[in-house]
């Protein structure tokens, strides 16, 4: 029993749970992006789609049953991802023995430039995304933050919010953070799961695939808000 507990707390197990929880969240993002792109079918199509989502699994499950199941799985994935990330970060810091100091003697350290894009985007990107999710749920799910007025139907909430440049900017910053996070995260997850056989990151085909997925997700998410703001989509 003690061995099992020890194994679960191992660094490998934590990396593994980061990879698996990250891939669960990514699958959600792909479905969510697809749903948002339905906005191009017009307001009615979008509202109908949002309505049907609440009916998946009926009559075996109550209304919104599948959505609640997805929420529980997602929350579990978010908590697991955040716990593993902070624990691994603390372990790495302790093991490298650079508490309060820079880790390597490099020219970049001397000039105060960030050591690598990954260490910057994963840490600060992760924090940005976590803050965004709180704002996003208050904005479009509960409609507590409703810059353009409260909306009854899903498309109305979307349309009202994206009349404001600062809302568009906030979502753009968040989606760029999501893109960078996916770029490194996707590559890292499949490397953890043993799918990277290249000697360097640049030589890896996974890197190209990770970039392509990150670009598709970022552009796919940003297309409806930009079309609403600049071209009045659905108005």
Sites of contact with ligand HEM (CB under 6 A): 29, 32, 36, 50, 67, 71, 129, 133, 136-137, 140-141, 154, 158, 171, 175, 178, 221-222, 224-225
Q: Widest CA span of the chain, in angstroms?
A: 64
Q: Which is nearer to ligand HEM, 56 or 67 (CB)?
A: 67
Q: Give the whole-angstrom CA distance, residue 146 versus residue 49.
A: 22
Q: Give the whole-angstrom CA distance, residue 175 versus residue 41.
A: 22
Q: Which is nearer to ligand HEM, 137 or 203 (CB)?
A: 137
With left for phi above 0 and alpha for psi between -120 and 50, is residue 56 left, alpha or beta? beta
User: Residue 84's closest CA among 177, 28, 8?
Assistant: 8
* Residue showing tokens 């490397």: 191
With left for phi above 0 and alpha for psi between -120 and 50, is residue 10 left, alpha or beta? beta
Q: Which is nearer to ligand HEM, 52 or 202 (CB)?
A: 52
Q: Which is nearer to ligand HEM, 14 or 158 (CB)?
A: 158
Tokens of 56: 């998946």
Phi, psi of 91 (to 5 degrees): -60, -45
In the complex, minimum distance from the CB of residue 170 to ligand HEM, in angstroms, rounded to a whole number: 10
In the complex, minimum distance from the CB of residue 141 to ligand HEM, in angstroms, rounded to a whole number: 5
Query: What spatial distance separates the first Cα and last Cα of the chain, rounded to whole Å?
Result: 61
In the complex, minimum distance from the CB of residue 147 to ligand HEM, in angstroms, rounded to a whole number: 14
In the complex, minimum distance from the CB of residue 196 to ligand HEM, in angstroms, rounded to a whole number: 25
Q: Which is nearer to ligand HEM, 88 or 176 (CB)?
A: 176
Q: Which is nearer to ligand HEM, 178 or 204 (CB)?
A: 178
User: Residue 190's closest CA among 208, 177, 174?
Assistant: 208
In the complex, minimum distance from the CB of residue 201 to ligand HEM, in angstroms, rounded to a whole number: 24
Q: Please tell me whether residue 100 adopts helix, strand or coil conformation.
A: coil
In the complex, minimum distance from the CB of residue 79 to ligand HEM, in angstroms, rounded to a whole number: 13
């Amino acid at each position: 029993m003690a061995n099992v507990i020890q194994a679960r707390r191992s660094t490998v197990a934590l990396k593994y749970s980061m990879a698996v929880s990250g891939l669960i969240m990514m699958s959600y993002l792909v479905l969510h992006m697809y749903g948002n792109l339905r906005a191009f079918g017009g307001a009615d199509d979008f509202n109908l789609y949002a309505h049907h989502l609440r009916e998946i699994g009926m009559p075996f499950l109550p209304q919104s049953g599948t959505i609640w199941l997805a929420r529980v799985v997602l929350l579990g994935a978010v908590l697991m991802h955040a716990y593993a990330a902070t624990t691994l970060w603390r372990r790495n810091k302790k093991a490298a023995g650079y508490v309060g100091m820079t880790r390597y003697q490099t020219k970049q350290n001397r000039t105060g430039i960030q050591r690598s894009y990954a260490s910057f985007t994963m840490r600060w990107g992760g924090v940005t995304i976590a803050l965004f999710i709180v704002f996003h749920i208050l904005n479009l799910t509960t409609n507590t933050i409703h810059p353009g007025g409260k909306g009854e139907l899903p498309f109305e909430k979307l349309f009202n919010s994206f009349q404001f440049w600062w809302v568009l900017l906030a979502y753009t910053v968040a989606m760029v953070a999501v893109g960078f996070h996916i770029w490194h995260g996707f590559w890292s997850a499949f490397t953890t799961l043993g799918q990277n056989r290249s000697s360097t990151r640049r030589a890896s085909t996974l890197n190209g695939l990770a970039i392509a997925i990150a670009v598709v997700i970022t552009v796919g998410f940003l297309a409806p808000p930009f079309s609403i703001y600049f071209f009045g989509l659905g108005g």
